[in-house]
């Protein structure tokens, strides 16, 4: 099966082809190689870079994290290294979930009431 650029799905891409595919300049891909150790393209004679299918997928994930979701480089690195992929956002605990964590819900509600009284806010 061929991609839009006429290459087979598993074919290696040169740095210019990958840059065009994900919509970033080539120097950005070179920078990502210095910041994301997982991104390691093959380098052939003349130091030409060739990206394998897994490198293409990783570059797409990095692009999504940085340019679509607004992560910082450090945040994207942590997200990729923590789970091998993008870490899903953890929802804030609800009282029922807190009760499952070993803290009785009634104690949490009482604590919230005491804190609200202490700062003068009515709930």
Report the chain's mean pLDDT, rounded to a whole number. 80
Q: Are 12 and 48 in contact (CB under 8 A)?
A: no
Q: What is the pTM of this model?
A: 0.61
What tens digit of pLDDT does each residue of 60-107 get? 999 999 999 999 999 999 998 875 554 344 444 555 554 455 667 888
Which phi-psi region, left, alpha or beta, contains residue 74 (left: φ > 0; alpha: ψ -120 to 50)?
alpha
């Amino acid at each position: 099966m061929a991609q839009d650029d006429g290459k087979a799905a598993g074919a290696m891409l040169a740095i210019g082809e990958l840059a065009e595919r994900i919509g970033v300049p080539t120097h950005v891909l070179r920078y990502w190689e210095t910041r994301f150790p997982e991104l390691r393209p093959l380098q052939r004679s003349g130091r030409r870079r060739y990206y394998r299918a897994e490198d293409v997928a990783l570059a797409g994930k990095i692009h999504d994290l940085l340019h679509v979701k607004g992560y910082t480089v450090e945040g994207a690195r942590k997200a990729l290294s923590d789970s091998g992929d993008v870490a899903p956002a953890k929802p804030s605990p609800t009282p029922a979930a807190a009760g499952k964590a070993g803290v009785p819900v009634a104690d949490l509600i009482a604590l919230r009431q005491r804190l609200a009284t202490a700062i003068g806010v009515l709930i």
